[in-house]
């Protein structure tokens, strides 16, 4: 059964490392008829957008998924980044377990979906830290 992808004008999809962009003035439909590493526009993270620890983890895993010839190299970088993240934010341990389980099952696309949960986790942690910092600054200013 083929996977049909609809690309709006200007949208991109990556298929086995090749970036395809719809440059026509209308929506295109592509049928992928065999097994391929595919990322749609919303799932693609550009290298210059990998600016936070969790997004760097996603980018390394994305590269492992898309570029089979360097998969081991990218997975090694991914593993180091994830290990560091969990060390800094132990509350992410269960997400990391799910990511590793997907990788061990050979499903890198599922692992990428799990890393998106890690990016959400990172946002929550950063918001929490920011709120605590604001509270501390406000209490410190009130005490003066």
Place of tokens 């132990």: 90
pTM: predicted TM-score of the whole model, two decimal places: 0.85
Neighbour-count burial for 61-73, b at 16+ CB within 10 Å, e otherwise:
bbbbbbeeeeeee
pLDDT for 144: 65
Q: In total, how many domains does the chain have?
A: 2
User: Do 25 and 73 share a structural domain?
Assistant: no
Backbone angles phi and psi of 22, in degrees to 5:
-80, 110
The helix (H) or strand (E) run that includes residue 65 is helix 53-66
pLDDT for 134: 86
How confident is the chain (144 residues) per 10-residue block, as mean pLDDT?
89 92 93 92 93 97 95 97 96 97 96 96 90 83 67
User: Do 21 and 77 share a structural domain?
Assistant: no
pLDDT for 7: 93
pLDDT for 129: 84
User: Do 26 and 67 share a structural domain?
Assistant: no
User: Do 37 and 1 share a structural domain?
Assistant: yes
User: Do 6 and 69 share a structural domain?
Assistant: no
User: Do 94 and 81 share a structural domain?
Assistant: yes
CA atoms within a 13 Å half-sphere pointing along the CA-CB vector of 68:
8
CA 77 to chain centre: 14
SS3 1: coil
Provide the residue range defining the domain that includes 34: 1-44
pLDDT for 27: 95
User: Do 121 and 52 share a structural domain?
Assistant: yes
pLDDT for 39: 94
C-alpha 77/C-alpha 68 separation (Å) is: 14
Name which of 38, 11, 53 is nearest 109 in CA terms.
38
User: Do 74 and 137 share a structural domain?
Assistant: yes
pLDDT for 94: 97
């Amino acid at each position: 059964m083929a996977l049909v992808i609809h690309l709006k004008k200007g949208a991109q999809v990556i298929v086995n490392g090749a970036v395809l962009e719809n440059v026509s003035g209308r929506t295109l439909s592509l049928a992928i008829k065999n097994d391929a590493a595919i990322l749609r526009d919303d799932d693609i993270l550009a290298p210059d957008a990998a600016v936070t620890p969790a997004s760097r983890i996603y980018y390394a895993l994305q590269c492992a998924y898309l570029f089979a010839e360097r998969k081991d190299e990218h997975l090694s970088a991914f593993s180091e980044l994830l290990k560091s993240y969990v060390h800094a934010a132990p509350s992410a341990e269960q997400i990391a377990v799910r990511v590793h389980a997907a990788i061990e099952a050979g499903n890198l696309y599922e692992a990428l979906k799990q890393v998106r949960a890690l990016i959400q986790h990172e946002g929550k942690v950063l918001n929490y830290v920011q709120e605590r910092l604001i509270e501390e600054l406000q209490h410190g200013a009130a005490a003066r």
